[in-house]
Every structure is written in C-alpha cells, then in structure tokens.
Amino acid sequence: MSLAPPAREEYEITLEPFTQEDLARDLPLAQRIWQLGWVRKCVIMIALAVIWELAARLQNNDLLLPSFLQTAAAFYDGLISGELPGKVWISLTVLIQGYLIGIVL
C-alpha cells in the first residue's frame, strides 16, 4: 500500500485572447479625495474631537473631563504666554537626565 497520492493527468487550460478594453476608469471626485491619506487622517481627528466635545458636554463636569474647545484654548494660551514651552523644556531636560543616568548605571 502506497501513501503517495494518486497521480493525475496534467492539463492546460487555454484562455481567451485579451481584448483591448480600457481598464483604467476615472474615479468619482469624492473617492479620489478620500484616497488621500491626509484627508482620512483629518476626518478621524475631527470625529475624535467631536466625540470628545459631546462626551464632555454630556458629562457636564469641567474638572473631570474638560471639553475639546476648553483644552484647545488653554493650549493656545499656554503657547502664547510662553509658559508651555518653558515647561516642555524642563520636562525634556529631566527626561534626558534620566536616560543618561540609566545608561551610566
């Protein structure tokens, strides 16, 4: 008794000749725009901001969940006043010092 599968005949299927049809079709404008990566990313970011804003308004507790608009305004005020870049610099300095201490140890 052989464990090999039974041999079958080899065959070849001949295909119909290729017709010279125009395979490239123009996509609708909306689909061409949607295929741009930055458009999809912006739509996702806007959707997340809207969900955040709606959740904050439903929660109605600014201390627990500030709205997106309040957060954006605070971020803008921090940048304009110069306070935020200074705090970022301090945080990055501490981070780099920690990495250097970790490398030395």
In a domain, 98, yes or no: yes
Would you state the pLDDT for residue 1? 64
Its pTM stands at 0.62
Q: What share of the chain is helix, strand, coil (3-state, %, to 5)?
A: 60, 0, 40
Asked if 68 and 53 count as a contact pair (C-beta separation under 8 A), the reply is: yes
- Number of domains the chain is built from: 1
Q: Is pLDDT at 11 greater than 90 in this prediction? A: no
Is residue 72 in a domain? no
Residue 45 lies in a domain: yes
pLDDT score recorded for residue 8? 82
Interacting residues of 39 by C-beta distance below 8 A, sequence separation 6+: 33
Tokens 């301090």 belong to residue: 90
Residues 19-75: pLDDT tens digits? 777 777 888 999 999 999 999 999 999 999 999 999 999 999 999 999 999 999 999
Q: What is the extent of the structural domain holding 57?
A: 29-67+81-104
- Whether residue 73 lies inside any domain: the answer is no
